[in-house]
Structure 1
Amino acid sequence: MAAAPAAPPPSSKGSLREDLTCAICCDLFQEPVMLSCMHHFCKACISRYWRGTLGPVTCPQCRKEFRSKQFQTNYLVAAMVDKVRSSSSDTYIRNLEKQLSAALQSHNSRKEDLLCTIRKDRDKMDIIKRVGADLQGCVKSEFRALHQILEEEENHTLDQLRREEAEELEKVQRHLEAAELAVRDLEDNIKLLQQSNITLTEFPQLRTCVEVNVAPDFDVSAFSGKYLAPLQYITWRRMFKALKPGPAALTFDAETAHPSIHVSRDKTVAVECDAMTPQPSNSKRFVQCVNILASQAFQSGRHYWEVEVGSSPKWDLGVASETVDRRARIKLSPENGYWTLRLRNGSEYWAGTQPWTRLQLGSPPQRIGVYLDCDERKVAFYNADDMSPLCLFSKGPRGKVFPFFSPCISENGQKPHPMKLLHGALSG
């Protein structure tokens, strides 16, 4: 007897159940058998259907006649019926409901996470736009101030040029008028002399001619030299004095210096000494750490200064609160009143947070710019050679603060490197 053909894949659970339903009892097959016409019935149903029939029998569906009562058990269909029947059980339904509930909960949770992410992204976009608009306003304001300085310098220079031009023109005009007057007098005298030469009775009374000195040549080079000079550079030097904040002219406060720090006579250079120098004791002096403060203090407004660190392999600098403990060894951190940038091992730059934050710099700066905004509580550090930002403390100090410096202790017999205060961007 031929093997039963494989049943075609159902399109859905509903159509599969219909395919596995007996046409006689209208229920799922019980011991499904297949007639030679390929129709399936329950074994008991087809047996009852043919009972009492003498002679040929027929298929209940297609009415095809068969000479004998023969059918074949279809084990594949029986297995499929078992699967459908088990999938309809209460346990299966409960498990399926649990899976559906878990999947639904997972998708809802994921959806909420994504919606939360979308809200955060939109909030970030709003913040970026708001901050960007504020920053654009600040940038425009700063450049308006520069434009105003430039415009004032331009007007001042043009006024000076016009005044000098008018003065030179006036000089030439006076000499020109004197020369023209002298020419007219001479012409009158010439006429008198010509007339007297005709009559020749007496020497005519001549007019006294105005003496006209030879005017010096106009020195074009001297006149235009100041205006054909490097005018942009000259103007920039003048602008530099009007910058707000302009570079602060700091000096070191020797009374705060650790005994191993030597301060130059002009108080702009601090360097570590080989041996500590006895110093009078006072409450301002650092006695445990090789630190020093500037003489100038700031409590409001915006301020900027520059420090030359050169090739020193180790240093700290920034700002310190007036109230820091100067007699104890304290970690330099905002919690202890210090906002600093530091260098270690010649190439490791760190922001003085707690713990330290490693910074990745493109090139080692030789000069450090420090910007302090007391009102906005910000402390920022820059590579003063190209003004590239190094790090920023957005929660800076409150109250009175001093510029802070530490040349640190030299190691392994290294030569101490000085720290130098620069009194402007043109220094060094």
Structure 2
Amino acid sequence: MATAASAPALATTSKISLREDLTCAICCDLFREPVMLACMHHFCKPCISRYWRGFQGPVSCPQCRKEFSTKEFQTNYLVAAMVEKVRVTTSDSYLKNLEKQLRDTLESHRLRKEDFMNSVRRDKDKMDAIKRAGADLQARVKGEFQALHQILQNEETCMLEQLRREQEEELEKVQRHLEAVKLAVRELEDNMRALKQASANTESVVLTELPQLRQCVQVDTAPEFDINTFSNKYMAPLQYITWRKMFKSLKPGPSPLTFDVDTAHVSIYVSRDKTAAAECDVVVPHTDHSKRFLQCVNILAAQGFQSGQHYWEVEVTSKPKWDLGVASESVDRRARIKLSPESGYWTLRMRNGSECSAGTQPWTRLQLSSSLQRVGVFLDCEERRVSFYNADDMSLIYSFTNGPRGKVFPFFSPCINDGRQKPQPIKLLHYPPVALLG
């Protein structure tokens, strides 16, 4: 079977054989006006006419020498068409054009192959990147859970050690009382033996006094042991207690933020404990301060961050309109500026109760799987990442990877109310609400 490489050679050989079949035996060139004799041999019409010109009687075929009584031949149009096709396909211009087509087709295939090879390399690079990222993320996940395991292990060890000590203390109390009682029993038994012996001797000897007896040991009252008191702390909801304690060890743990009243726009009311902020119709009397927002209904948290990882949660409940995120310390607080990373803001916004967008320019519209009641904000200063989560199921809403440099503050805007319903506050959530000791 011929290979792809030998196909052109076979085609060339076929053309050479065909050219030979279509060559006049008289002029040794391709037929010109091919005619066929009765013997079926072909010649150029001019060639055979010239060949027969000197014959006066019968003529013969120049090839097979067969004689014919008359000079008769028949034009062969099929052979003429074949000759013309061979003449065209073997011409220099045709061959040059064919060679050019071959070169162009070959180059096209080469370029296409190069594109495919580049695509293969890119896909392999992507696979390597995915594997590296997966390995890094696996290490990160294992590290995070290892830290949680360690916290639980430490809590378990501490509680078991406390239980062991308390058990030993109770056992020691009872053991001391038991030893005292046993000693008292032995002394009483010794006295009883002495008394029995004295009683037996009265039959032969007049007893004038009691025998010498040991002084009885004073035994304290048996220590009280209340099984309920001993067990109650270990029969408590240990998982919940430990979960509460874990918050003190989480890194990052939920940051207990409070609002900075000195930054609040005059249309923002802040609760006494500084954990709730709402837009109001009347101007709230605030002292003049250089940190205050003058044009936009904004407010910052009192706590700022410039290193490490930090997480906090904000309750937005049914508010139809709000903005929240982080803002650089250096943002212009006197002018009305669009919220975008270029202006020093990395935010999430809500409009009309369901239209959620990321604070890019232009805004990036986001699709939510459920309504937002609580929003979690995660700030990684070293990685320059600001991420927003649905705090009810911790599903990622959006993440900025070109986060801030330098010091930033948690940012909030309750926005201007449309007046159709009572303004709802933005609330800062604290977990756990009460710090546990121990």
TM-score (ref. length: structure 2): 0.85
Quick one: structure 1 residues 64 and 312, their matched pair in 2 at CA, closer, same or farther if it must change by over 3 Å? farther
**Structure 2 partner of 1:160:** 162
Alpha-carbon contact 2:317-2:374 (below 8 Å) kept:
yes
**Structure 1 partner of 2:426:** 419
Deviates more, 1:379-388 or 1:326-335: 379-388
Say how many residue pairs are matched: 416
Quick one: structure 1 residues 45 and 228, their matched pair in 2 at CA, closer, same or farther if it must change by over 3 Å? farther
Tell me the amino acid that sits aligned with residue 251 of structure 1.
Answer: T
Tell me the amino acid that sits aligned with residue 107 of structure 1.
Answer: H
Tell me the amino acid that sits aligned with residue 324 of structure 2.
Answer: L
1:362-381 to 2 correspondence within 5 Å? 362-381=369-388
Q: CA–CA distance in 2 between the matches of 1:26 and 1:425?
A: 108
**Structure 2 partner of 1:60:** 63
Tell me the amino acid that sits aligned with residue 18 of structure 2.
Answer: D
After TM superposition, give the deviation of residue 336 of structure 1 in Å.
0.5
Tell me the amino acid that sits aligned with residue 236 of structure 1.
Answer: W
Q: CA–CA distance in 2 between the matches of 1:250 and 1:423?
A: 8
**Structure 1 partner of 2:18:** 19
After TM superposition, give the deviation of residue 28 of structure 1 in Å.
2.6
Tell me the amino acid that sits aligned with residue 130 of structure 2.
Answer: I
Tell me the amino acid that sits aligned with residue 12 of structure 1.
Answer: A
Deviates more, 1:81-90 or 1:252-261: 81-90
Quick one: structure 1 residues 190 and 35, their matched pair in 2 at CA, closer, same or farther if it must change by over 3 Å? farther
Q: CA–CA distance in 1 between the matches of 2:230 and 2:38?
A: 123
Q: CA–CA distance in 2 between the matches of 1:220 and 1:44?
A: 134
1:320-359 to 2 correspondence within 5 Å? 320-359=327-366
Is the counterpart of residue 76 in structure 1 residue 78 in structure 2?
Answer: yes
**Structure 2 partner of 1:4:** none
Root-mean-square deviation (CA), in Å? Answer: 2.9
After TM superposition, give the deviation of residue 267 of structure 1 in Å.
0.3
Is the counterpart of residue 401 in structure 1 residue 408 in structure 2?
Answer: yes
SS at match of 1:403: strand
Deviates more, 1:364-373 or 1:46-55: 46-55
Tell me the amino acid that sits aligned with residue 83 of structure 2.
Answer: V
Alpha-carbon contact 2:173-2:223 (below 8 Å) kept:
no
**Structure 2 partner of 1:229:** 236
After TM superposition, give the deviation of residue 262 of structure 1 in Å.
0.6
Q: CA–CA distance in 1 between the matches of 2:83 and 2:16?
A: 8
After TM superposition, give the deviation of residue 238 of structure 1 in Å.
1.5
Q: CA–CA distance in 2 between the matches of 1:290 and 1:118?
A: 53
Quick one: structure 1 residues 205 and 123, their matched pair in 2 at CA, closer, same or farther if it must change by over 3 Å? same
1:303-314 to 2 correspondence within 5 Å? 303-314=310-321
**Structure 1 partner of 2:128:** 126
After TM superposition, give the deviation of residue 293 of structure 1 in Å.
0.5
Alpha-carbon contact 2:174-2:223 (below 8 Å) kept:
no
Q: Paired residue for 1:95, among 90, 94, 97?
A: 97
Unaligned runs of 5+ in 1: 1-10
SS at match of 1:206: coil
Q: Paired residue for 1:180, among 176, 179, 182?
A: 182
Quick one: structure 1 residues 30 and 295, their matched pair in 2 at CA, closer, same or farther if it must change by over 3 Å? same
After TM superposition, give the deviation of residue 70 of structure 1 in Å.
5.8
Measured against aligned partners, the alpha-carbon deviations of 1:226-281 in whole angstroms (never above 9, x if no partner) come to 23433232222212111111111110011111111110000000011122224333
Q: CA–CA distance in 1 between the matches of 2:122 and 2:363?
A: 29
Alpha-carbon contact 2:358-2:366 (below 8 Å) kept:
yes
Quick one: structure 1 residues 122 and 204, their matched pair in 2 at CA, closer, same or farther if it must change by over 3 Å? same
Q: CA–CA distance in 1 between the matches of 2:118 and 2:410?
A: 44
Quick one: structure 1 residues 279 and 58, their matched pair in 2 at CA, closer, same or farther if it must change by over 3 Å? same
SS at match of 1:227: coil
Measured against aligned partners, the alpha-carbon deviations of 1:73-132 in whole angstroms (never above 9, x if no partner) come to 332232222122122334433433443343333333323333333333333333333333
Alpha-carbon contact 1:263-1:270 (below 8 Å) kept:
yes
Q: Paired residue for 1:197, among 190, 196, 199?
A: 199
Alpha-carbon contact 1:59-1:65 (below 8 Å) kept:
no
Tell me the amino acid that sits aligned with residue 403 of structure 1.
Answer: P
After TM superposition, give the deviation of residue 328 of structure 1 in Å.
1.0
Alpha-carbon contact 1:286-1:326 (below 8 Å) kept:
yes
Is the counterpart of residue 315 in structure 1 residue 318 in structure 2?
Answer: no
Quick one: structure 1 residues 264 and 199, their matched pair in 2 at CA, closer, same or farther if it must change by over 3 Å? same
Quick one: structure 1 residues 424 and 67, their matched pair in 2 at CA, closer, same or farther if it must change by over 3 Å? farther
Q: CA–CA distance in 2 between the matches of 1:38 and 1:257?
A: 111
Tell me the amino acid that sits aligned with residue 164 of structure 1.
Answer: E
After TM superposition, give the deviation of residue 68 of structure 1 in Å.
7.3
Quick one: structure 1 residues 108 and 228, their matched pair in 2 at CA, closer, same or farther if it must change by over 3 Å? same
Q: CA–CA distance in 1 between the matches of 2:110 and 2:412?
A: 57
Unaligned runs of 5+ in 2: 1-9
Quick one: structure 1 residues 39 and 381, their matched pair in 2 at CA, closer, same or farther if it must change by over 3 Å? farther
Tell me the amino acid that sits aligned with residue 33 of structure 2.
Answer: E
Deviates more, 1:33-42 or 1:402-411: 33-42
Quick one: structure 1 residues 185 and 23, their matched pair in 2 at CA, closer, same or farther if it must change by over 3 Å? farther
Deviates more, 1:36-45 or 1:371-380: 36-45
**Structure 2 partner of 1:271:** 278
**Structure 1 partner of 2:306:** 299
